Amino acid sequence: MRVYDSREELPVDFRDLLRHADEAAARAYAEYSHFQVGAAILMNNGMVVTGANQENAVYPCGLCAERVAAFAASSAYPEVPFNMIAVTAINPVEPLREPVAPCGSCRQVLFEYEQKFGHPIEVLLAGQQGPVYHLQSVATLLPYTFHAGFLPK
Ligand code: THU
């Protein structure tokens, strides 16, 4: 993992993808937690697909930004690998000073697409301020992973 001390230090293409994630976070439907998360996936065809968390009065029905983005991307472009996902969040009470950490379910979902295409998905994690983490693959976020190879053939 590479740690950038701030967004200003990022290469311009990383900063651009993070800007898409910022814009998605601003569109979150976070009626209950008020924690707005945005994800932006750079596809291998150059398209960017975004997602924001969607909450629900029946709390477990909601979905994280990363999965909203991943499912939208895979639905729109089922044969196109994901190159990178940028994730960020807005805490309206006090600015988030550390990178947001994707939940276990989102790591598992992203890992599925990494495996499907045999193509690493780089991960860029940011808060509103402070450091940005750049990881080479989803696998690095999910050791000893359950994968399709365990299932009956
Ligand atoms: N959330 C995400 O969308 N992504 C994450 O990486 C962490 C958590 C959402 C789920 C819920 O809507 C809110 O943030 C609080 O957990």
Range of the domain at 137: 2-145
| Tens digit of each residue's pLDDT (9 = 90 or more) over 94-133 | 999 999 999 999 999 999 999 999 999 999 999 999 999 9
Read off the pTM.
Answer: 0.97
Give, using CA atoms, the residue closest to atom 2 of ligand 1.
64
Tokens of 81: 């690998």
* Options 8, 9, 31, 66, the catalytic residue: 66
Distance (angstroms) between ligand 1 centre and the Cα of 31 equals 12
Is there a contact between 51 and 75 (Cβ–Cβ < 8 Å)? no
Rounded to 5, what percent of the chain is helix, strand, coil? 35, 25, 40
Residue 150 resides in a domain: no
Q: Is residue 152 part of a domain?
A: no
Residue-wise pLDDT tens digits, 3-19: 999 999 999 999 999 99
| Residue 72, token pair as written in the block | 């939208």
CATH number, domain with residue 101 = 3.40.140.10
Centre of ligand 1 to C-alpha 10, Å, is 24
97 lies in some domain: yes
